[in-house]
Amino acid sequence: SRIKVTKAIIQSMTREERRKPSLIEGSRKKRIARGSGTSIVEVNRLLKQFEQVRSMMHHFSRKKGIKRFPFPMP
């Protein structure tokens, strides 16, 4: 399941990588993928999702809530 994959990837990161994902480049991605039993594509997918959520949270904090969300919510 997606949750198990996500958990495995996160657990394969060092504490420093979890605190600062921008540190994760090529060789680190390869190590994380190997350690989690996943692919570099899966590691990239998780990092991209993290950045998207971080961006939304930043947007919310600046715009004071969901009323000014940039696209309609379902």
pLDDT digits (tens, 9 = 90+) for 7-65: 999 999 999 999 999 999 999 999 999 999 999 999 999 999 999 999 888 887 776 65
CB within 8 A of 32, min separation 6: which ones?
9, 12, 13, 17, 24, 43
pLDDT at 62: 74
Q: What is the domain count for the chain?
A: 1
pLDDT at 11: 98
Report, in angstroms and rounded to the nearest whole number, the Rg of the chain calculated over CA atoms.
15
Question: Cα separation of 35 and 50, whole Å?
Answer: 19
Helix (H, G, I), strand (E, B) or coil at 28: helix
Q: Which domain holds residue 16?
A: 2-67
**Which CATH number fits the domain that encloses residue 58?**
1.10.260.30
Ramachandran region, residue 13 (left: φ > 0; alpha: ψ -120 to 50; beta: rest): beta
In a domain, 63, yes or no: yes
